[in-house]
C-alpha cells in the first residue's frame, strides 16, 4: 500500500493549518444541523449525523456546541440546505472542486463564480473537472492510535486501499463504497478510546498539475477565498507544489 499522502498532506495544510478556529467550528456545526434536520437526531440511525459529530469531536468542538447544532436541526427553525458541487479551473490550469451546502443556490453560485473570476480562474460545468479525480474515503487517526505497522495491519484487515503515516497523523484511504464498513471495522479494532480526527469522502486527483511562481501565489489566494465563503464546505484541487515552493509561499 504505497501512498498518495503527499497530495493529502498538501491539502491538509492548505485547508486547515491557517484556518480560523471559529470558521471551522461554524462549518462543522452547520453540517451537524443539516444532517440532524435531514435524517433525525439519533446518530445511531443517521450515518451523516454520526460522521458529522465524529468530525466535530476530532476538531475539539465543545459538546454543548454539538448538541445545540443537533437541536437547531430538530427545531424546524433551521434553513433548508442543498448540497451542490461546483467545478472550475484555477491559475496554472489547476482543476478545482468546490462542495457547498447552501440555503441560497443563487448566492452560492454568484459568490463562487466571483471568487474564480477575480482570482485568475474560471468556473466550469459539472463534470468538467471531476473526471480527473477519484472519490475515496479518507480516515485520519492521531499518531497515538498506534505504530505505523499496527495501523497498516488494522487497515488491511478492515479492507482499506491505502495507508500512509506522516509527522501529523495516520491516513487511511478506502473505496467510496467501503468507507462505512472500513470505518466501523477500524473503530472496533482500535478500540473506543481511540478518537478519529476526521473521516470523510474526498476527491483525490488522478494526475497532479505542477504550479510555481505567480500562478502558485494566485492559486493559493483563490483557494483561501473559496475556503472562507460561508456556503463552502470543502475545496479540492490537483495542484502539485514542491517543498521549496510551499516554503516560499509560507513566508
Q: Which of 82-86, 145-149, 188-192 has the lowest mean pLDDT?
A: 188-192
The neighbour count for residue 249, using CB atoms within 10 Å, is 13
Separation between Cα atoms, residue 116 and residue 62, nearest integer Å:
34
pLDDT of amino acid 90: 95
- Report the run of H or E that residue 234 belongs to, with start and end: strand 232-237
Give the pLDDT confidence of 9-47 residue by residue, as tens digits. Answer: 455 444 445 456 777 888 888 888 888 888 888 988 988
What is residue 11's predicted lDDT score, i.e. its pLDDT? Answer: 52
Query: Per-residue pLDDT tens for 89-112?
Result: 999 999 999 999 998 999 999 999
For 117-128, give one letter per residue: b (16+ CB within 10 A) or e: eebbbebbeeee
Residue 191's pLDDT band (cuts 50, 70, 90): confident
**124-168 residue pLDDT tens:** 999 999 999 999 999 999 999 999 999 999 999 999 999 989 888
Question: Which pLDDT belongs to residue 178?
Answer: 94
Q: Compute the average pLDDT of residues 165-190.
A: 91
| Residue position matching grid coordinates 468530525 | 55
d(CA 124, CA 169): 34
Query: pLDDT category, 251, cuts 50, 70, 90?
Result: low
Categorize the per-residue pLDDT at 2 as very low, low, confident or very high, splitting at 50, 70 and 90. very low
Residues with Cβ within 8 Å of 34's Cβ and at least 6 positions away in sequence, in order, are 52, 73, 78, 81, 101
The answer on pLDDT for 65 being more than 60 is yes
Q: What is the mean pLDDT of residues 218-247?
A: 87
Which of these, 238, 240, 234, 239, lies nearest to 98 by C-alpha position?
A: 234
In order of start, what are the domains of the chain with their CATH numbers?
5-75 (1.10.10.200), 82-131+207-250 (3.30.70.980), 133-205 (3.30.70.980)
Per-residue pLDDT at 12? 45
Q: How far is the CA of 162 from the CAs of 139, 146, 170, in angstroms? A: 11, 17, 11
- Predicted confidence at residue 195, as pLDDT, reads 83
Amino acid at each position: 500500500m504505497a501512498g498518495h499522502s503527499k497530495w493529502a498532506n498538501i491539502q491538509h495544510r492548505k485547508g486547515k493549518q491557517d484556518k480560523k478556529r471559529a470558521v471551522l467550528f461554524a462549518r462543522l456545526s452547520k453540517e451537524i444541523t443539516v444532517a440532524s434536520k435531514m435524517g433525525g437526531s439519533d446518530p445511531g440511525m443517521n450515518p451523516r449525523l454520526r460522521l458529522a459529530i465524529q468530525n466535530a469531536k476530532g476538531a475539539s468542538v465543545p459538546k454543548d456546541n454539538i448538541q445545540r447544532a443537533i437541536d437547531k436541526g430538530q427545531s424546524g427553525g433551521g434553513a433548508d440546505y442543498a448540497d451542490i458541487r461546483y467545478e472550475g479551473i484555477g491559475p496554472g490550469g489547476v482543476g478545482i472542486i468546490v462542495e457547498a451546502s447552501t440555503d441560497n443556490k443563487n448566492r452560492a453560485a454568484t459568490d463562487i463564480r466571483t471568487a474564480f473570476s477575480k482570482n485568475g480562474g474560471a468556473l466550469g460545468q459539472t463534470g468538467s473537472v471531476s473526471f480527473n479525480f477519484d472519490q475515496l474515503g479518507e480516515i485520519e487517526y492521531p499518531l497515538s492510535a498506534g505504530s505505523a505497522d499496527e495501523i497498516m495491519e488494522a487497515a488491511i484487515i478492515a479492507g482499506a486501499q491505502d495507508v500512509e503515516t506522516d509527522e501529523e497523523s495516520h491516513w487511511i484511504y478506502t473505496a467510496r463504497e467501503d468507507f462505512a464498513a472500513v470505518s466501523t471495522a477500524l473503530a472496533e479494532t482500535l478500540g473506543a478510546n481511540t478518537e478519529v480526527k476526521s473521516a470523510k469522502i474526498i476527491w483525490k486527483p488522478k494526475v497532479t498539475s505542477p504550479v510555481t511562481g505567480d500562478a502558485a501565489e494566485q492559486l493559493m489566494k483563490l483557494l483561501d477565498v473559496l475556503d472562507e465563503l460561508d456556503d463552502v464546505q470543502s475545496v479540492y484541487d490537483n495542484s502539485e507544489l514542491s517543498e521549496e515552493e510551499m516554503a516560499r509561499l509560507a513566508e
